[in-house]
Chains A and B, each alone.
Chain A
Amino acid sequence: MEEVPHDCPGVGSAQAGRGASCQGCPNQGLCASGAGAAPDPAIEEIKEKMKTVKHKILVLSGKGGVGKSTFSAHLAHGLAEDENTQVALLDIDICGPSIPKIMGLEGEQVHQSGSGWSPVFLEDNLGVMSVGFLLSSPDDAVIWRGPKKNGMIKQFLRDVDWGEVDYLIVDTPPGTSDEHLSAVQYLAAAHIDGAVIITTPQEVSLQDVRKEISFCHKVKLPIIGVVENMSGFICPKCQKETQIFPPTTGGAEVMCHDLKIPLLGKVPLDPRIGIRFRLKAGYRISLEASRGRCPACPVYRESRRSPPCTRLLSVRVATKDSLFWLKPRIHQPL
């Protein structure tokens, strides 16, 4: 689809192919025949595939660089701490696939079997899929328009052999565009538990995040809650706190209060998180994920009556000064 009129009514609309603005559009015939409006058979195929996946969680943000991939990786690690929990992490950021690097899986390749593509397993109970595994060089750019990206996402959901999974976490790129629409559309019949939305405290992030929340409402995607990342920095030398990204309009707390959405918690800026995660060298930071009560987290207490997936996303607080919501645990170098 190259030259589309600027007031294109949309391929799914009743006016598709029939509106005044459709005259001369190269896709007019296709739209007028109704082909554009027919449901994609892949939706049913994905519904079947997803029957072995208990919970599906999207990690979203309108804003880039707030820590979606970092949080997704931490959440996946945290949930997989329990050996009996099968976790899958799917990276649908096609242009900027960060998950392989964050998970220390750069250079790994995807193999195909009779039952589809095999995810790359970091642990026995933690499988990962990303377009990053399909690129032959770290310099390779994925310069794709929307339809091709959508095709890739469809394949990830339909053709990857995830097996029996308790949690599928889907890491997304910033924005409210093709990837997000496709993920919601293809998973429509398979029931998504909801979205965790990541932000940082400053208004320039919140203004994009409000749009993301608006997107969720538009596509009827339940919102599990918001995580405020990069929330305060403790100087390693003098231990004094500075707000590098000041919450000039009250941060996520005020936004969540205004929009009546749960604030799941706040994660501080920690330079150790910026260190490369590598399974075979260096430190790995993981966060404990608790299935039970979380007495130190007042937000969690309020949401105890929420669906099970909300409880399972809460993370135990355990710092001496209670400033922070999550406590990183540093694993010893391997």
Chain B
Amino acid sequence: MEAAGEPGNLAGVRHIILVLSGKGGVGKSTISTELALALRHAGKKVGILDVDLCGPSIPRMLQVQGKAVHQCDSGWVPVFVDQEQSISLMSVGFLLEKPDEAVVWRGPKKNALIKQFVSDVAWGQLDYLVVDTPPGTSDEHMAVVDTLRPYSPLGALVVTTPQAVSVGDVRRELTFCKKVGLRVIGVVENMSGFVCPHCAECTNVFSRGGGEELARHAGVPFLGSVPLDPELTRSLEEGRDFIQGFPESPAFPALSCIAQKILNEAPVGLS
């Protein structure tokens, strides 16, 4: 933690996308991970910055939990998830001595680490940096938006689930985005229906329609609905590449569509 911050550690990053939600447990980390995997399959170099300090989920989702973070002249080296080094990841999960250790920090200490994650990680050349956030509109969010502001992030993907109790919190997140001047790329509705594998009946486990209605109310694009799929959950549990492994899953078209929208939104030359 003593490496001096290099002014240009984000200079090689083409596009920065924040994944936000006012609500917890809607699938921000899932969408961040799947988006990164989909962008990688499209031939892009992707970094993931996990600023959920209390609940860092992404190392396990990419099966790199327990890896060590090394230092170089420019700062911390992010952990590479694959041999080809096409996905790199930084998370507080790598800095804990024990996996079950709780990060019991108040705001100022969290802010300080987030600032370090932004300025002291040697990301190198990246097409996309996906920033996964914890739920809420508090210290972490203000810190990450303030620190990334000079780098003009592309915008925010806002994730919700269909039911009213999620939409209620996500409305507030959209207000946050407006207040801090963060563009909303669009709303993603996750956990949107479950197709029973036994009889193919679709049940709206978490109600329906909330995400699309929210996007309409807020005047932002609706990027799509991702249905519940136990195979998706299982892939994340086991650190497997869902995009590669389950192209026939009902969740695959929605996730690919979201990635395609990002690629169209912010094309990165021929790589």
Give the residues in chain B near A274, CB-CB below 8 Å. Answer: 163, 165, 204-207
**Also in contact, A204 and B236, with CB within 8 A (given A244-B194, A274-B163):** yes
Binding site for A on B (CB under 8 A): 1, 22-26, 29, 54-55, 57, 60-61, 99-113, 115-116, 134-139, 141-142, 161, 163-166, 168-169, 171-176, 179-180, 194, 196-199, 201, 203-207, 228, 230, 233-234, 236-238
The verdict on A118 contacting chain B, using a C-beta distance below 8 Å, is no
**Cβ–Cβ contact B172 & A178, under 8 A:** no
Q: For B102, list chain A residues within 8 Å (CB).
A: 62, 176, 211-212, 214-215, 218
A240 in contact with B135 given A215-B104, A246-B234 (CB within 8 Å): no
Given A145-B139, A174-B24, A174-B134, 19 additional A-B pairs, CB 8 A: A6-B116, A7-B1, A95-B136, A95-B169, A98-B165, A141-B173, A142-B137, A146-B138, A176-B54, A176-B102, A177-B105, A203-B60, A207-B57, A207-B60, A211-B54, A211-B102, A212-B102, A240-B196, A271-B203
Interface residues of A, count at CB 8 A = 71
Which residue of A5, A149, A235 contacts B199 across the interface (Cβ within 8 Å)? A235
Residues in A lying within 8 Å of B, measured CB to CB: 1, 4-8, 10, 62-66, 69-70, 94-96, 98, 101-102, 138-147, 149, 173-178, 180-181, 200, 202-204, 207-208, 210-215, 218-219, 233, 235-238, 240, 242-246, 248-249, 269, 271, 274-276
Closest to B54 in A: A175
The listed residue (B103, B194, B204) touching A176 by CB distance below 8 A is: B103
How many inter-chain residue pairs (CB < 8 Å) link A and B? 221
Q: How far is the CB of A60 from chain B (nearest CB, A)?
A: 11
Once A176-B102, A181-B104 are accepted as A-B contacts, the answer to whether A140 and B175 lie under 8 Å apart by CB is yes
**A64, A138, A181, A212: residue with the most chain B Cβ atoms closer than 10 Å:** A64
Report A207 CB to chain B, min CB distance, Å.
Answer: 6
Contact across chains for A176 and B104 when beta carbons are under 8 A apart: yes
Cβ-closest chain B residue relative to A6: B112
Q: Among B29, B61, B101, which residue has the most Cβ atoms of chain A within 10 A?
A: B101
How far apart are A102's CB and chain B's nearest CB, in angstroms? Answer: 6
B55 close to A174 (CB less than 8 A): yes
Task: Verify A4–B108 contact, CB threshold 8 A.
Answer: yes
